[in-house]
Every structure is written in C-alpha cells, then in structure tokens.
Amino acid sequence: MSGKPKVAVHKFSSCDGCQLAFLNLGEDLLRVAERVDFVHFAEAGPVEPHAKVDIAFVEGSISTPDEVARIQQVRANSRFVVTLGACATAGGVQALRNLADGGKWIAAVYAQPEYIHSLATVTSIASHIKVDLELWGCPVSSRQVLGALRALLFGVVPVEEQDKVCMECKRNQTVCVMVAKGIPCMGPVTRTGCGALCPAFGRDCYACYGPAENPNTLGIARRLEGLGLAPDDIARRFLFINNAAPAFHEAGLRAKGEAHGGKP
C-alpha cells in the first residue's frame, strides 16, 4: 500500500466546473499525483467513494436526501474537507429555487413528479458538516486549488483570500469600469481570487467569488441605483451565483422588498 497522502474529489449537485479546475492544472496535476494518491475522482478515473482519505475536496451543493447522508459519510472518512466553488460554499445557481415554490416547478416540468426526491431547499456543504476550508468561485481557480492542496500537505493553514476585487484591480493597474465608464459593478463587495478577470477586459464583476469580508451591500446597492439600475435588477445582482451567502441573500431580499412595496 502506498504511503502517500490520499485525496478524494467528490461531486454533489453541480455542473462539474470546479472539478475541471483540477484537470486544467495539466502538468501540475501530474506532479501533484506523484505526491498524493487520488483514490476517488470520478471525473479523472478512480472511483472509490467510501475510501478513508487525508483530504476530501467537495464540489456541489446539497439538494437531495441521498446527498445529506453521503456528505456525512465524506466527513467521517476525511481528515480535512475542502469545499470547491459557489455551489459547495453558497448553494450555487441551483439554490435560486429556494426563492420559489420548488414543488410547483417540479410539477410543471416532470410528468411524474412523485419520482423526484428533492429537499425543500438547496444548502451549502457547511450547513451539514464541519468544513475546514472554503474555496469560493464559479468556477474556483486552479491556482487556489493547487495552493490549498500544497499548504495542507505541508501542514500549513491555507491562506484565505478575502480582499475585494477592487484591490486586485488596483494591484493590476486595471481601470475601474464603474468610475471610468459608469458600468454597474459588484467588485466593491466581492472577494478576489479570479485575478479581477472581468474588469481587466472592460466588463463588470458579477460576484462569482461571493461576498468579501465586511461587504457594504447597502452602499453598493445605493451606488448601483445611482447608475440607473431598478431595485429588481439590483436584487438579481445579489441573488445570483452566490445567492445563499447570507450577506448577498439579505441584500437581495432587501432590494426585492423595495421593488415590491416591502414584500420580497
């Protein structure tokens, strides 16, 4: 039996995009594989979901009763659990159904809705188990994944990036699209990690990396309103990829309330 640390990559309700962050490492992934055993990573080949591992990376949110039981097992079999991306950390796009009547949607889409076994709400991994590290993003960046893995292998606490996208823009000497062009941008309340990719190409940040530390959501909502966005449009900015993150969820419902006379 190999004495190398064992790593698993588990998928829950998601699109697989964050698992691709591993595969996109290319040659770096091959070098990582020389130091660890990937004992479960269905996207890449090995399948052993019940294996005991040193590090478990988890992609996706919890949306079915089966997933509740499965994530408990992942926690019991893992020394460290790291969540990957918006779905695992904040519900993701599928958590948008928390804002509607899920039962009615299922009945409208499926001819036999009684065979669809879904939870009433979609939730993050940390809502069910202890998570040791959360990596945000939609998708998470390959650089983040590699950095976290290396830190854990060396017994070092991974550094969590909590700067706002605006700070990344300044470091990269990227012209602010909101100040220079009047484009509504979520950068002032969004954590970095993407390298401020969208502003670098002249478009606004759409908050795919979730809320930054101490986000002034009320302030950015007023600024977006000043740039011409209606309350419903402001609500959609918050209730999007990371809609179940508390700071964005509350800000989105507040904007919806303003749009509908105090009724979210």
pLDDT digits (tens, 9 = 90+) for 1-26: 458 999 999 999 999 999 998 899 98
- Predicted local distance difference test score (pLDDT) of residue 2: 55
Parent domain of 143 = 6-153
Q: Are residues 148 and 170 in the same domain?
A: no
Q: Looking at the structure, tell me whether residues 38 and 147 fall in a common domain.
A: yes
Question: Residues 144, 252: one domain?
Answer: no
Residues 35 and 142 in one domain: yes
pTM: 0.91
- When pLDDT is averaged across residues 132-159 and rounded to a whole number, the result is 92
- As a whole number, mean pLDDT of residues 138-156 equals 92
Widest CA span of the chain, in angstroms?
Answer: 65
Instruction: Tell me, yes or no, whether 76 lies in a domain.
Output: yes
Please state the domain count of the chain: 2
Residue at 57 is within a domain? yes
In whole angstroms, give the CA distance from residue 177 to residue 63: 37
Residues 15 and 136 in one domain: yes
Q: pLDDT of 96-132, one tens digit each?
A: 999 988 888 889 999 999 999 899 999 999 999 999 9
Residue 197 placed within a domain = yes
Q: Is residue 204 a contact partner of residue 198, using CB atoms and an 8 Å limit?
A: yes
What per-residue confidence (pLDDT) applies to 160? 84
Average pLDDT estimate for 140-166: 90
What is the chain written as a DSSP string?
A: ---SPEEEEEE-BS-SHHHHHHHTTTHHHHHHHTTSEEEEETTTS---TT--EEEEEEESBB-SHHHHHHHHHHHHTEEEEEEEHHHHHH--GGGGGGGS-HHHHHHHH-S-GGG----SS-B-GGGTS--SEEE--TTPPHHHHHHHHHHHHTT-PPPPP--BHHHHHHHTTPPPHHHHH-----GGGBB--S-SHHHHTT-----TT-B-SS--HHHHHHHHHHTT--HHHHHHHHSSTTTTSHHHHHHHHHHHHHHTTT--
pLDDT tens profile 169-220: 999 999 999 999 999 999 999 999 899 999 999 999 999 999 999 999 999 9
Average pLDDT rounded to a whole number, residues 138-157: 91
Using only C-alpha atoms, the chain has a radius of gyration, in whole angstroms, of 20
How confident is the model at residue 157, as a pLDDT? 86
Asked, for residue 22, whether it belongs to a domain, the answer is: yes
Q: Which residues contact 111 (CB under 8 A, 6 or more apart)?
A: none
In a domain, residue 159? The reply is no
- Name the average pLDDT for the chain: 93
- Residue 201 counted as domain residue: yes
**Is residue 44 in a domain?**
yes
Provide mean pLDDT across the span 54-58.
97
Q: Is the pLDDT of residue 262 over 80?
A: no
